[in-house]
Amino acid sequence: MAITINAEARTDMGKGASRRLRRTEKMPAIVYGGSKKPASLTVLTKDIRVHLNDEAFFSQVLELSIDGKKAEKVVLRDIQYHPYKVDPMHLDFQRVSAKDKMHFHVPLHFTGEDVSPGAKHGGLVSHVLHEVEIECLAKNIPEFIEVDMSAMDMGDSLHLTDLKLPKGVELIALKQGDDHDEVVVAIHAPRGGSDEDEAAAEEAEEGGEE
């Protein structure tokens, strides 16, 4: 179910106005893109705080309702935080089109680590990437991409080309060529292991650096 954000049109602009707004537990925001002009908004800070630990808030299509009108589909493009309170201060929303492909960042979910032969034998797991940039239609955005580690042994590594992508989803890095096939996760031999294990670990590390 899509997350709905209720907003109001903003007319009082400027830094002073923004400071006054935040004192009322509201924050400024902007929505842009599509065939409409950019619009300045205000949203309740408490309505945003409840979603900050939800991955879907950052990677899925949201419903944005302005002044109680019919919601339009948007994605969160940027969120600015207070420098030391770690509290949201400004939001950027972008309107999405049903016909045009867009770039999105989605998280990786690692599964099977506890049953993988390499981890069972004491291998050190190195998660090189935690999210990937994809291109797809808004309707095809996955909430996350699963990385199955259950078959990984000591010295093994998984690359971008090993990921199973949902239909209609492409990885931006791989569109740039085979030399961008980055390491996603690797299992290294513990330091002090056999020469063979250490060689495998060094090979996996070199792959990550590339």
Q: For residues 12-26, give the mean pLDDT.
A: 69
Compute φ and ψ for 173, nearest 5 degrees: -60, -40
For 196, the enclosing helix (H) or strand (E) is: helix 195-209
Q: Is the pTM of this model over 0.85?
A: no
Give per-residue burial for 62-81: e unless 16+ CB within 10 Å, then b.
bebebeeeebbbbbbbebee
Distance CA 166, CA 90 (A): 32
pLDDT of amino acid 181? 95
Distance CA 38, CA 174 (A): 33
Of 22-36, 119-133, 161-175, the one with minimum mean pLDDT is 22-36
Distance CA 95, CA 138 (A): 10
Over the stretch 80-134, which tens digit does the pLDDT of each residue have? 888 877 788 899 999 998 888 999 999 999 999 999 999 999 999 999 999 999 9
| Domains, the chain | 4-95 (2.40.240.10), 102-209 (2.170.120.20)
